[in-house]
Structure 1
Amino acid sequence: MRPALVAACLLFLAPITGSVWATGSHVVMDPWMVCKKARKMRGKLADICRNETELLKQVARGQAKGVKECGYQFRARHWNCTAQRRSMRRILLKDTRETGFVNAITAAGVTYEITRACTAGKLVQCSCDKAKGGGGGGGPIGGLSGNAALPPGDWQWGGCGDNIRYGYRKSRDFMDARYKRRSDIKILIKLHNHNAGRLAIKNYMKPECKCHGLSGSCTLKTCWLKMPTFREVGNKLKDEFDGATKVISSNDGKSFMPEERSIKPPNRANLVYTENSPDFCEANLKIGSLGTQGRHCNATSQGVDGCNLLCCNRGFSQKTVNESVNCRCRFKWCCDVTCDTCIDRRVVNTCH
């Protein structure tokens, strides 16, 4: 890649990249750093870095979306998916459940943003998906997962759906192309979890329909396929995290299998890992744990956000916090809003 183009990419992406997840000397999903390291490479990744600057912008947006969703999904867990650089670097050096989720949600975020950009007409290389889903009137639907409910009544394929095929392919081209040693168990695990993240979108596309008919009678519907919300994608991957399978390398050195022979082999959509997670209760920067001291907890909950679990039975303190808030707001003609100031008192529980 020419130096001028590298500099242009950096300026183009600087406002978006924000938090960075890093492992060793490699920055995970920082498009500029990936392209800088790939400038002597050939193939699909090099082509993207040289010729598809707008696509790199969507990759960066997808990374940021993954960071945000990871934080939401683990907000009440011992490990809360902090984007703090030193902590995340240590986490990603291992092949734990947490690493698997990070790789999956990042791949899902990149796929989501590229697909959405296609539909919105932001990428010159693609557009929304005008291909028919297959069948019609309740017939077989090509490419539609059995997880999606069919539209009721009379309907036909039409409109312009989300181009998940392009988003899936470009996410794979950018994220997977630099990993060549596929016999390495760590790389096999990473690529598998990348793909599981993409499938959490592709396998859950669902129809969206528009009614046609006199006076809104909806005698016929035109339907197309839309992506699930990214919160639904995050929820699905969180479920996969909870049920992730611990695996070991197979004898052929090119695949993996469950560590326990009694466990059902994972499918392409399941998350996998090879190392047990460390104890995240106490701060330990050697393993990337920030601990739970100082975290807010729910004293009335028996779930993972409850003070006993979140504080790891160390106890917690309570204090009442007073905050000034606007209340009893009134609209005055024309055109002011006046409010009183009220004191909002709430109890905050903090882990010892």
Structure 2
Amino acid sequence: MRLLMVIAILIFAMPMTGFGWAEGTNILLDPNLMCKKTRRLRGKLAEICRHDSALLKEIIINGINLGFRECEFQFRNRRWNCSVLRKSMRKILMRDSRETGFVNAITAAGVTYAVTKACTMGQLVECSCDKTHVRRNGGQPQMVTAATAQAALERQQQAEMLRQQLPPLDQHPSQRMGRLSNASTMTDISAVEHRGGRNRKPGWRRGRRKFWDNIKFPEGQWEWGGCSDNVKFGLRHSRVFLDAKQRQRRSDLGTLVKFHNNNAGRLAIRDAMRLECKCHGLSGSCTVKTCWLKMPPFREVAERLRDRYDSARKVTLRNDGNSFMPDNPHTRPANKYQLVFADESPDFCTPNSKTGALGTQGRECNVTSSGPDRCDRMCCNRGHTRRIVEEQTNCKCVFKWCCEVTCEKCLEHRAVNTCL
């Protein structure tokens, strides 16, 4: 009896962080587990899981798989190659390391990208193209300039912030009116500050970064049109799924780090939006120019996140238990675009069942490279072997009208260096 009491005390004394990470790990490795037990789910997530099966498939399966495939590509030449072997990845995701931060960021970006793309392609009944920028005046297209386009985007962002500040519908009417009044006042003040630049609110940051800062607007007049990617819908639903509240303690550094990296992955999609334009007119003239917002190729977003992985910052929990701060007091705090981590990474040189490291024995390396795939770095100074292999490649290709390309098979010899 005494032994059972000791076991029970140990179980209830264990931190909840491990359980939360295990749950999040299972979702990433098997997305279908997200809605397996809908009775335990509440709010938006439960509503989507019970009614939006097509959206669920698009978000969970396609988005997370897209993130993992790109993770493998970006780290194919590094000691940690983002192997999706279940046992290895499960162990990796149980630690708050750089690798976990990148996986969370790239999967959140993948989910956002997949849902947004599905909206644009008309695959989901819940959304369509983003038509908030299109302005019609009596049925006629309204021409805009770079200045008026930026002003429209500014108003749109303020309206989005206002909607996020509104209280839920089930709140008392007096409380709703109070919150609405405060939110409206804040929006009016921000508009005045934007125009005058004086009497700024406490905490206002000069030169606040906006997602359209990187957009190059064309000169002259043009028309908002086309089918802009509905990235707001993708951001919102990625947050609903991947930031679903888990069982956690107040001082759960792992959850804070995970949510931060998830958001950094989503912002990498939003901030990479670009403007595409098409000219209309007789004989190729550009009398009318129509422009719309479009996401870049996902590989471009993944490369940005890989660079942020290299510059990720180590953090530790603050005394309040609700936020984190730099582990090094001489380091500037990470902004919302940077990746953060709390645990140091293993060296990944040798197999380790506790950390999920697979080792680099048998991995191919490059003796002439100066990057992470260089043989002495990849092989951890253990040495490497060299052999010559024969490979069949297409050669002497000829184009035949119309429309066929025929090639011969040629044998090529290639030197392969493998880590010991």
For the aligned pair, the TM-score class normalised by the smaller chain equals 0.7 to 0.9
Partner of 2:308: 240
- In 2, Cα distance between equivalents of 1:67 and 1:83: 7
Contact 1:244 1:271 in 2 (8 A): yes
Partner of 1:66: 67
Contact 1:74 1:81 in 2 (8 A): yes
For 2:120, give the aligned amino acid.
Answer: T
Partner of 2:231: 164
- In 1, Cα distance between equivalents of 2:79 and 2:297: 26
Give SS of 2:415's match: strand
1:149 and 2:216 equivalent?
yes
Partner of 1:28: 27
Partner of 1:200: 268
Partner of 2:277: 209
Q: Residue 303 of structure 1: which of 340, 352, 371 is its match?
A: 371
Partner of 2:182: none
How do 1:72-91 and structure 2 match up within 5 A? 72-91=73-92
For structure 2, which runs of at least 5 residues remain unmatched after alignment? 1-19, 136-142, 158-210
Q: CA deviation at 1:338?
A: 6.4
| Inter-CA distance 338–166: structure 2 relative to 1 (3 Å threshold) | closer
How do 1:209-288 and structure 2 match up within 5 A? 209-288=277-356
Instruction: Name which of structure 1's ranges 100-109 and 207-216 shifts more when overlaid on structure 2.
Output: 207-216
Partner of 2:99: 98
Give SS of 2:109's match: helix
Instruction: Name which of structure 1's ranges 300-309 and 165-174 shifts more when overlaid on structure 2.
Output: 300-309
Q: CA deviation at 1:332?
A: 7.7
Instruction: Name which of structure 1's ranges 191-200 and 299-308 shifts more when overlaid on structure 2.
Output: 299-308
- In 1, Cα distance between equivalents of 2:407 and 2:41: 62
Give SS of 2:96's match: coil
Q: CA deviation at 1:282?
A: 1.0
Contact 1:182 1:254 in 2 (8 A): no
Partner of 1:126: 127
Report the number of matched residues: 331
Give SS of 1:75's match: coil
- In 1, Cα distance between equivalents of 2:321 and 2:404: 71
Contact 2:38 2:50 in 1 (8 A): no
Percentage of pairs with the same residue: 54
- In 2, Cα distance between equivalents of 1:270 and 1:233: 13
Contact 1:206 1:227 in 2 (8 A): yes
- In 1, Cα distance between equivalents of 2:352 and 2:385: 23
- In 2, Cα distance between equivalents of 1:234 and 1:40: 34
- In 1, Cα distance between equivalents of 2:90 and 2:31: 17
Contact 1:155 1:221 in 2 (8 A): yes
Q: CA deviation at 1:313?
A: 1.1
| Inter-CA distance 163–297: structure 2 relative to 1 (3 Å threshold) | same
Report which structure shows greater RCO (CA 8 Å, sep ≥6). 2
How do 1:39-58 and structure 2 match up within 5 A? 39-58=39-58
Give SS of 1:39's match: helix
Give SS of 1:145's match: coil
Q: Deviations over 1:55-111 (max 9, x none)?
A: 111121011100110001111111110000000011011000100000000000000
For 1:79, give the aligned amino acid.
Answer: W
When normalised by structure 2's length, the TM-score is 0.74
What is the RMSD of the two structures over their aligned residues, measured on CA atoms?
2.3
Structure of larger gyration radius: 2
The runs of at least 4 aligned residues of structure 1 exceeding 6 Å deviation read 331-338
- In 2, Cα distance between equivalents of 1:334 and 1:177: 54
Partner of 1:322: 390
Contact 1:23 1:90 in 2 (8 A): no
Contact 1:296 1:348 in 2 (8 A): yes
- Which has the larger helix fraction? 2
Contact 1:23 1:89 in 2 (8 A): no
- In 1, Cα distance between equivalents of 2:287 and 2:397: 46
| Inter-CA distance 49–216: structure 2 relative to 1 (3 Å threshold) | same
